[in-house]
């Protein structure tokens, strides 16, 4: 069998590991270095490591691992936002046009308004499910699918075909799905960008982002941008991330099962509105998600009517913590409007952890009962 013949659990456990050598650990510890010893005659040409900003062996092992899972070459960044802004600024020039998701991660839209438009980039927006504008004259189309936080799903293959026909590049934010949920490069995307802070590493203890591509030109552009700006993760964070990848398959399996159990329970409650989870056959995203995705995410969303009811729900819950981000081991609820996101006051993004499904469903049901009915809008 080749590495690509192995199933997800095996691939996650072995991704990016060096060849075994007697006396060495499975995953070498982090190399904590800024400068390295240089050859007095050849300088940095004699060895792969010269200075810690562009060079770090711990970081390279992580990049090999994520690249194996995404099916391309990878560069990791200090955060997901550093990765996506680095991609945009490495690719776009004054006079270019970019199409961004109107319902995707809010800080990306804020960056587009505050930075891209001020340097002469034309920014257009389209909902994840469309309708999309003409891609004629567009340099880059960015999808986020499933969208964060609304969980709509875009048809990657169809949009890749449309973008390429117009001469545009297609980038896909794969944060919510992870490379085990879908592999955009295999569906025709030119580049993947994601936050590794969330489900990919899944322990709520580090910040990480990455860009993956099969294009040498795009990889060179992104690498050059990262080297120049210094947007690199620390060696210890890179090591923690690589260590965490080994359990990705196990974590996602439980999180997805929990999301399905919670979604089905919430669907039966008249006091919960706007439930979204692309794995439900009744969800508008289900037809595309079922065809495109290899597994469903552990994230769902719904509306409890107002901010006070959301607070009462979280206070009453024993297994649900109030926290932003998602994909961690612990179930969390995030009222997105408190961050300035353009969502309703009672909108909740719920990230399912790895608790026992029956316990989680029971706790959420009891907390909703205790929270009572929604009051006047906050």
Residue 238: pLDDT band (50, 70, 90) is very high
From 245, 269, 304, give the residue that closes a domain: 245
pLDDT given at position 376: 55
- pLDDT of res. 377: 43
Q: What is the pLDDT of residues 169-224, one digit of tens each?
A: 999 999 999 999 999 999 999 999 999 999 999 999 999 999 999 999 999 999 99
Confidence grade of residue 266 (pLDDT, cut at 50, 70, 90): very high
- Residue 374's pLDDT is 83
294-320 tens-digit pLDDT: 999 999 999 999 999 999 999 999 999
Q: Given a cut of 80, is residue 246 above it in pLDDT?
A: yes
Which of these three, 198, 214, 245, is where a domain ends?
Answer: 245
Among residues 183, 350, 281, which one has the least CA distance to residue 194?
A: 183
Mean pLDDT of 271-293: 98
Reported confidence tier of residue 1, pLDDT bands at 50, 70, 90: low
109 and 26 together in one domain? yes
Query: Domain boundary at 245, 274, 290, which?
Result: 245
Asked if 229 and 272 sit in the same domain, the reply is no
Task: Give the length of the chain.
Answer: 378
Residue 143, beta-bridge partner list: 172
Do residues 63 and 158 share a domain?
A: yes
Q: How confident is the model at residue 5 (pLDDT cuts 50, 70, 90)?
A: confident
Q: Residues 269-308, buried b or exposed e (16+ Cβ, 10 A)? A: eeebeebbbbbbeebebbebbeebbebbbbbbbbbbbbbb
Domain that includes residue 198, residue range: 3-245
pLDDT of residue 49 exceeding 50: yes
The CATH number of the domain where 327 resides is what? 3.90.1150.10
Query: Residue 325 domain-assigned?
Result: yes
In angstroms, rounded to a whole number, what is the distance separating the alpha carbons of residues 358 and 113?
A: 44
Evaluate whether residue 316 is within a structural domain: yes
Q: Could you give the 3-state DSSP secondary structure of residue 83?
A: helix
pLDDT of 2: 62
What does the pLDDT look like over 117-162, one tens digit per residue? 999 999 999 999 999 999 999 999 999 999 999 999 999 999 999 9
* % of the chain beyond a pLDDT of 70: 98
343-374 exposure pattern, b = at least 16 Cβ within 10 A, e = fewer: bbbbbbbbbbbbbebeebbebbbebbeebeeb
Q: What are phi and psi of 201, to 5 degrees?
A: -100, -35
DSSP 3-state assignment of 247?
A: coil
Can you tell me the mean pLDDT for 53-62?
97
Task: Quickly state the pLDDT bin for 340 (edges 50, 70, 90).
Answer: confident
pLDDT in tens, 60-107: 999 999 999 999 999 999 999 999 999 999 999 999 999 999 998 999
CA dihedral 271, 273, 279, 281 (to 10 degrees): 90
Q: Taking a C-beta distance cutoff of 8 angstroms, is the pair 194, 83 a contact? A: yes
**Three-class secondary structure assignment of 1-27:** CCHHHCCHHHHHHHCCCCCCCCCCCCC
| The predicted structure's pLDDT at residue 97 | 98
Dihedral sign (CA 245, 247, 253, 255): negative
**Contact call for residues 331 and 348 (beta carbons, < 8 A):** no
Q: Is the peptide bond before 185 cis (omega within 30 degrees of 0)?
A: no
Average pLDDT, the chain: 96
């Amino acid at each position: 069998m080749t590495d690509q013949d192995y199933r997800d659990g095996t691939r996650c456990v072995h991704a990016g590991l060096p060849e075994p050598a007697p006396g060495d650990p499975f995953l070498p510890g982090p190399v904590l270095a800024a400068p390295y010893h240089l050859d007095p005659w050849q300088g940095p040409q004699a060895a792969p490591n010269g200075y810690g900003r562009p060079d770090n062996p711990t970081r390279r092992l992580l990049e090999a691992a994520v690249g194996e899972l995404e099916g391309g070459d990878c560069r990791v960044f200090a955060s997901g936002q550093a990765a996506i802004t680095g991609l945009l600024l490495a690719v776009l020039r004054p006079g270019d046009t970019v199409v961004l998701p109107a319902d995707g991660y809010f800080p990306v839209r804020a960056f587009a308004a505050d930075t891209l438009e001020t340097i002469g980039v034309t920014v257009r927006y389209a909902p994840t499910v469309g309708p999309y504008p003409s891609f004629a004259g567009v340099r880059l189309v960015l999808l986020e699918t499933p969208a964060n936080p609304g969980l709509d799903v875009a048809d990657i293959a169809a949009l890749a075909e449309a973008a390429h026909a117009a001469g545009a590049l297609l980038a896909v934010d794969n944060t919510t799905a992870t490379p085990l949920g879908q592999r955009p490069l295999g569906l025709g995307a030119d580049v993947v960008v994601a936050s590794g802070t969330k489900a990919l590493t899944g322990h709520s203890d580090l910040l990480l982002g990455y860009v993956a591509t099969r294009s040498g030109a795009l990889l060179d552009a992104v690498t050059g941008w990262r080297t120049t700006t210094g947007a690199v993760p620390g060696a210890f964070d890179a090591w923690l991330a690589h260590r965490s990848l080994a359990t990705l398959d196990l974590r996602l399996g439980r999180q997805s099962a929990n999301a399905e159990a919670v979604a089905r329970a919430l669907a039966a409650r008249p006091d919960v509105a706007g439930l979204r989870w692309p794995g439900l056959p009744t969800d508008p995203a289900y037809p595309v998600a079922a065809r495109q995705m290899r597994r469903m995410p552990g994230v769902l969303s719904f509306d409890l009517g107002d901010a006070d009811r959301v607070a009462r729900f979280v206070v009453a819950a024993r297994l649900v913590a109030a926290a932003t981000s998602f994909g961690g081991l612990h179930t969390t609820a995030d009222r997105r409007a408190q961050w300035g996101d353009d969502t309703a006051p009672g909108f909740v993004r719920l990230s399912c952890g790895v608790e026992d499904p029956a316990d989680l469903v029971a706790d959420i049901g009891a907390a909703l009962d205790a929270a009572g009915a929604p009051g006047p809008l906050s």
